[in-house]
Chains A and B, each alone.
Chain A
Amino acid sequence: MSKIRLATVWLDGCSGCHMSVLDMDERLIDIADKVEVVYSPLVDQKQFPDEVDVTLVEGAVGTIEDEEKIKAIRKRTKILVSLGDCAVTGNVPSMRNTCGAKAVLQRAYLENVTLQPQIPHELIPPLRDRVCPVREVVKVDFFVPGCPPSADCIHTVLTQLLSGQEKVGGCSRFGS
């Protein structure tokens, strides 16, 4: 049997969901037998490949680049999974929606500064004014809530996906 091509990406999140993936501990060794990690912050592949079987997305959509990125990933992925509360609902990153991106930038780069106050803008992606969950930008196949979802839950989901089950998840809840 050929290995499942798996990708993991971070958008606007804290990386806690990726850490929860690593919390599978020695089960990672078995997983490594069954999947090929073709793109992830953990590997050196710089370009998102074509024909990815499963992509786990952590984080909300916070920058223009996040938005372009997730749209391109969607086209190259068979099954897209929103992993964790930020991807599923917007969660903590979307708390800035009450004041907007401008107020956030003003606080960080014009007020809480000693020298050269200015809003950074060269060679870095502009913030979207509104942070939104992944499903507002692209179609999402499965939702796995949790802040973060536990390693056991992620293991269950991966096992379900690897065995081709149609119903995936149901092992975590928002905020847990």
Chain B
Amino acid sequence: MAQRIVIDPVTRIEGHAKISIYLDDEGMVQRANLHIGQVRGFEKLCEGRPFYEMPSLMARICGICPVSHLMASAKACDALMGVRIPEPGANLRRIMNLAQIVQSHALSFFHLSSPDLLLGMDADPAERNIFGVIKSNPKLAKDGIKLRQIGQQVIESLGGKRIHPSWVVPGGVNEPLSAEQRERLLALIPDGVDIILRTLAWFKRSLDNYKAEIRTFGNFPSLFMGMVSASGGLGYYGDGWLRIVDGTGNIVADHVDPTTYPDFIGEAVEPWTYLKFPYYKPVGYPEGIYRVGPLARLNLVNHAGTPLADQELAEFRLLERGAVLSSFHYHYARLIEILFSLEKMEQLLHHKDILSKHVRAFASPNNEEGIGVSEAPRGTLIHHYRIDDQGRIIWANLIIATGHNNLAMNRAISQVARHFVSGNQIQEGMLNRVEAVVRAYDPCLSCSTHALGQMPLRVELVSPAGEVIDEAKRG
């Protein structure tokens, strides 16, 4: 009789999920499923509301990456108005977007995943968290807190508040940058660069400790998708084009206009999760699996585009011959992206027109349909709106970065579970590794399904038809 092991909730991720691991009669892992348990309805609840409310409303999808939603939403609104926003306005949006990469990646690495890396996958669960890191390695914890703070301070300075700022508007931004502000922001960057360089040095030294994890944490060939900048480098604001590469690093599609996404991205539904499964249409479902986010971006750009990040990228690419395939290296890629973002922010703050007062274009809606695409910390983010002749939203479709990785995350937890979990002798550390691979993808689920009153581990006996026959609980 088959068994199902349930990890509920998956902790130290941004949002709530549970995992089912299905075992066969011999206690061998057959497969694992990641269940996302909430749906918030933004595609529907925005209907009837004026389009210019969308950036502020859609930011509320996520408190971790609200800036990403501000960007994609505002760009979709720019398209509805049919305007090309003034370049200083676009550059200010870019700076905020880079600050968001810094704070979100710092959160993922230091606050959520460093307990696994620093204290160990098998460490005492009661200590295996950021507060445990504060106790055991206060310097690293302080570095993480400081780095996240730098990103958040840039966002706060530009937007007036750290979370859900209202400064990004259709047509640009609603206030220019002052000279004093620029000096304050520039002064933050050297500290950030120092922190990320020493973190990278430590992380690279520690890679030898994680050979088994690197080999099995979602390590498989897949497609990788992401936006590249107009010069083929890293660019999160999304003004270049989409590129897709395969597992050997060869380009499969290039110079793709992201607004044509319905031509090549389909979305499938499975009955056991609220998170849909985007797939690459030319390959079909479920074979059309692709990954997005930091690992994908580093696999598909020609170069990063800033001096220090370019050096790190060159070293990163020595890890494997083709594309870097292990999802464990999302962590590594995230650190390099933080470095790039700090360097790029500094470059943009020195741009000769950055203090210009021309930061916003005004227009009524001129198009019935608008699509905005940007690279969120976790990958390509698409907002697609249609409006009536009064400028009210009549339809919306959103493809969230984490969604693109849904097929890959499910394959990754199956791979890790097969390698580390055996039904005959279940240990907490095994299950933590299954959760840890989910953390590597840094999913942003913004939802919540804590199961209360359930033991840390629940094992069910299920019939072939899926009916629960018996249940055992372990502490």
Contact = CB atoms under 8 A, between A and B. Distances in A.
Task: Decide whether A and B assemble into one complex.
Answer: yes
A15 B15 contact: yes
Residue from A12, A26, A124 having most chain B Cβ neighbours under 10 A: A124
A18 B12 CA distance: 12
Given A63-B37, A68-B452, A98-B45, A147 B125 contact: no
A13 interface: yes
A66 B448 CA distance: 8
B271 A120 contact: yes
B376 interface: no
B162 interface: yes
Contacts of B148: 22, 25
B62 interface: yes
B449 interface: yes
B454 A46 contact: yes
Contact of B39 (A66, A104, A113): A104
B145 A15 contact: no
B160 to A, nearest CB: 11
Interface residues of B, number: 80
B212 interface: no
Interface in B92-129: 107, 111-112, 125-126, 128-129
Given A44-B12, A125-B37, A148-B163, A9 B272 contact: no
The prevalent SS among residues of B at the interface is loop
Interface in A24-57: 25-26, 28-29, 32, 37, 41-48
Interface string B425-437: 0000000100000
Interface string B253-280: 0000000000000111111111010010
B63 A120 contact: no
A43 B142 contact: no
Given A15-B63, A44-B125, A107-B44, A20 B268 contact: no
A105 interface: yes
Contact of A28 (B145, B270, B446, B452): B145
B303 interface: no
Interface residues of A, number: 69
Given A120-B274, A124-B274, A44 B11 contact: yes
A118 B111 CA distance: 36
B285 A26 contact: no
Given A14-B61, A15-B64, A63-B37, A46 B149 contact: no
A48 B450 contact: yes
Given A43-B11, A104-B41, A107-B43, A115 B452 contact: no
B50 interface: no
Nearest to B262: A114
B44 A41 contact: no
Residue from A108, A116, A118 having most chain B Cβ neighbours under 10 A: A108
A115 B268 contact: yes
B267 A114 contact: yes
B267 A32 contact: no
B149 A25 contact: yes
A114 B268 contact: yes
Given A16-B163, A105-B39, A124-B449, A45 B125 contact: yes
Interface of B: 7-9, 11-16, 18, 20, 35-41, 43-45, 47, 57, 60-64, 66, 107, 111-112, 125-126, 128-131, 134-135, 138, 141-142, 145-146, 148-149, 152, 161-164, 266-274, 276, 279, 281, 285, 397, 432, 446-457, 466
20 contacts: A13-B446, A14-B63, A20-B63, A41-B16, A42-B129, A42-B130, A44-B12, A44-B432, A46-B454, A48-B452, A92-B57, A92-B60, A95-B45, A112-B267, A112-B397, A115-B268, A116-B270, A122-B466, A124-B272, A125-B37
Interface of A: 9-20, 22-23, 25-26, 28-29, 32, 37, 41-48, 59, 62-63, 65-66, 68-69, 72-73, 91-93, 95-96, 98-99, 101, 103-105, 107-109, 112-118, 120-125, 127, 147-148, 150-151
Given A16-B62, A43-B128, A148-B63, 11 more contacts: A10-B450, A13-B446, A15-B64, A23-B163, A25-B148, A32-B131, A42-B112, A48-B450, A104-B41, A114-B281, A127-B39
